[in-house]
């Protein structure tokens, strides 16, 4: 009350004149109801609490809230009347502004295609627009408070209400997708969003929400998902067929190829003296070409086998595996390369055979793609991040130019001619495929002419 208390008046039965003057000061429209309220309170010996307008001699109107009560002698006659009045002009103006703002919102809401609603700070729906009542066939009274949940699919309503109450409590924007029942009983998918509107002091004045029919988008999504699933299945089938095809082709190619290699060998061993240097050179070329074709068919075979091979994933001791690979592969063991295995290494979830193939390919490349006059240096180590382990093979080789980045993991994606760095261009495609089959991924960083870091990322074994 404090500073807003404007007057304190005291009345006794002989100050009737004063009270008449008081009524004269009131707005004509408020005089009768104020008089009635005061007289009723006196008659009933009760308190009154009323709002009215006062008009100053200059004609200035102010809103006032008055609370008062009378005191009575033992015969029930009023002896005194105490009351306080508070100037509420500003509150009234704010209320009117708010009412107008809400009216405007509602007016706009009625003319929109969406279903619009408002709710109070407690989350109780206070208004729904015509689109809500027309769509659901329910009246406003049937949708207010928490009754709107009746129009929501029973499978969605409890969760929607829980989420709504949570957002109201936290004063956080609300969003959900749910099925709303049309008047004919058909449910259609809708997207509902609501935002709190605050006053200057930060208090929530109202929530304003919209509900949009998204049934068609939903249907389109379902159709799209179905189409994608069907196409993926077909594509997988085609890839499977192609891989089976390349497997059998490569397989069948190998026996005539062996015959070519074998006879060329025989000729070189047994008849090379009888051949002219040119013819001998031709024969050596045939032999080299046959060997290269053999390597190619073998690599294609390995690649196609990867897709169909059964794979069992288990814990793999990476450190042990790397040492075994170095021991087993003579060109790694006996090469002049400096190979450093940085311990400790993290174990991964993978498959030993697949990982052996992948890591040996990476290590071979690391040694192979080095400038002629440079001693190859390999560093193998692991890095752990967020449950994932990267097995890194870093080299001091020729590096890769940025423009070739996209090609190198593709099958036959080679950069250099076979004469400079022999190979088939399938090694990294195999690394990628093995990593994918072990639910992992591959990648690299490289600096042209200053080395590369290739890695396979797999799930960490705990």
Closest CA to 348 of 392, 312, 314, 302: 314
Per-residue string for binding with ligand ADP, 282-321, x by CB under 6 A? Answer: ----------------------------------------
| 90, 62 contact by CB (below 8 A) | no
Question: Nearest distance from residue 424's CB to ligand ADP, in Å?
Answer: 5
Question: Nearest distance from residue 398's CB to ligand ADP, in Å?
Answer: 5
Helices (H), 15-156: 16-25, 28-44, 89-110, 130-136
Q: Tell me: does residue 211 bind ligand ADP (CB under 6 A).
A: no
Q: Tell me: does residue 52 bind ligand ADP (CB under 6 A).
A: no
Cα–Cα distance measured from residue 27 to residue 35, given in angstroms and rounded to the nearest whole number: 12
Per-residue string for binding with ligand ADP, 365-404, x by CB under 6 A? Answer: xx--x-------------------------x-xxxx----
Candidate segments 29-37, 243-251, 374-382, 423-431, binder of ligand ADP by CB under 6 A? 423-431
Q: Tell me: does residue 83 bind ligand ADP (CB under 6 A).
A: no
Strand pairing partners for 67? 49, 84
Per-residue string for binding with ligand ADP, 171-210, x by CB under 6 A? Answer: ----------------------------------------
Question: Nearest distance from residue 308's CB to ligand ADP, in Å?
Answer: 21
b/e sequence 312-323, b meaning 16+ C-beta within 10 Å: ebeebebbebbe
Question: Nearest distance from residue 265's CB to ligand ADP, in Å?
Answer: 24
Q: Tell me: does residue 413 bind ligand ADP (CB under 6 A).
A: yes
Size of the site for ligand ADP (CB under 6 A): 22
Q: How many residues does the chain have?
A: 462
**440, exposed or middle or buried, with CB in 10 Å at 0-12, 13-18, 19+?**
buried
Q: Tell me: does residue 423 bind ligand ADP (CB under 6 A).
A: yes
Pick from 85, 250, 356, 424 the residue near ligand ADP by CB under 6 A.
Answer: 424
Tokens of 309: 């091979």
List strands edge to edge, sheet with 174-181.
125-128, 115-119, 204-213, 187-198, 174-181
Tokens of 159: 């969760």
Closer residue to ligand ADP in complex, CB, 116/426: 426
Closer residue to ligand ADP in complex, CB, 27/416: 416
Helices (H), 272-317: 277-308
411 C-beta neighbours (distance < 10 Å), count: 16
| 260, 290 contact by CB (below 8 A) | yes
Closest CA to 179 of 214, 152, 160: 152
Closer residue to ligand ADP in complex, CB, 241/340: 340
Question: Nearest distance from residue 247's CB to ligand ADP, in Å?
Answer: 19
Pick from 38, 408, 435, 442 the residue near ligand ADP by CB under 6 A.
Answer: 408
Pairing of strands 174-181, 187-198: antiparallel
- DSSP 8-state class, residue 461: P
Q: Tell me: does residue 453 bind ligand ADP (CB under 6 A).
A: no
Candidate segments 269-277, 312-320, 337-345, 409-417, binder of ligand ADP by CB under 6 A? 409-417
Q: Tell me: does residue 428 bind ligand ADP (CB under 6 A).
A: yes
Closer residue to ligand ADP in complex, CB, 153/416: 416
Closest CA to 92 of 118, 64, 119: 64
Pick from 287, 414, 437, 460 the residue near ligand ADP by CB under 6 A.
Answer: 414
Q: Rounded to a whole number, what is the largest CA-CA distance in the chain? A: 153
Q: Tell me: does residue 415 bind ligand ADP (CB under 6 A).
A: yes
Residues of this chain that interact with ligand ADP (CB under 6 A) are 361, 365-366, 369, 395, 397-400, 408, 413-416, 423-429, 452
């Amino acid at each position: 009350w404090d500073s807003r208390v404007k007057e304190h008046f005291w009345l006794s039965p002989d100050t009737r004149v004063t009270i008449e003057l008081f009524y004269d000061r009131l707005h004509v429209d408020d005089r009768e109801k104020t008089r009635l309220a005061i007289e009723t309170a006196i008659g009933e010996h009760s308190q009154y609490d009323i709002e009215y307008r006062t008009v100053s001699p200059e004609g200035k109107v102010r809103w006032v809230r008055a609370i008062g009560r009378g005191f009575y002698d033992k015969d029930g006659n009023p002896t005194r009347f105490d009351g306080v009045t508070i100037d509420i002009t500003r509150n009234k103006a704010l209320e009117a502004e708010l009412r107008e703002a809400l009216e405007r919102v509602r007016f706009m809401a009625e003319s929109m295609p969406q279903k619009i609603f408002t709710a109070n700070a407690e989350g109780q729906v206070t208004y729904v627009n015509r689109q809500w009542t027309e769509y659901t066939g329910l009246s406003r009274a049937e949708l207010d408070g928490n009754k709107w949940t009746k129009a929501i699919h029973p499978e969605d309503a409890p969760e929607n209400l829980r989420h709504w109450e949570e957002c109201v409590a936290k004063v956080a924007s609300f969003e959900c997708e749910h099925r709303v029942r049309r008047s004919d009983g058909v449910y259609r998918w809708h997207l509902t969003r609501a935002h709190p509107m605050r006053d200057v002091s930060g208090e929530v004045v109202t929530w304003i929400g919209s509900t949009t029919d998204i049934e068609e988008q939903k249907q389109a999504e379902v159709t799209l998902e179905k189409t994608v699933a069907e196409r993926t299945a077909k594509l997988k089938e085609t890839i499977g067929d192609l891989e089976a095809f390349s497997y059998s082709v490569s397989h069948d190619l190998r026996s005539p190829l062996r015959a070519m290699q074998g006879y060329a060998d025989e000729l070189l061993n047994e008849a090379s003296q009888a051949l002219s240097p040119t013819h001998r050179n031709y024969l050596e070329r045939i032999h080299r070409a046959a060997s290269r074709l053999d390597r190619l068919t073998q690599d294609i075979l390995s690649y196609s086998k990867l897709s169909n091979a059964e794979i069992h994933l288990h814990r793999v001791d990476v450190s042990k595996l790397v040492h075994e690979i170095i021991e087993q592969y003579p060109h790694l063991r006996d090469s002049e390369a400096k190979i450093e295995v940085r311990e400790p290494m993290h174990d991964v979830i993978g498959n030993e055979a697949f990982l052996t193939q992948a890591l040996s390919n990476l290590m071979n490349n690391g040694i192979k793609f080095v400038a002629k006059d440079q001693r190859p240096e390999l560093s193998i180590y692991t890095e752990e991040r967020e449950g994932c382990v990267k097995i890194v093979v870093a080299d001091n080789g020729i590096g890769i130019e940025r423009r070739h980045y996209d090609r190198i993991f593709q099958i036959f994606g080679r950069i250099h001619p076979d004469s400079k760095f022999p190979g088939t261009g399938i090694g990294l495609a195999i690394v990628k495929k093995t990593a994918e089959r072990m639910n992992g991924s591959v990648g690299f960083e490289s600096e042209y002419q200053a080395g590369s870091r290739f890695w396979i990322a797999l799930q960490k074994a705990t």
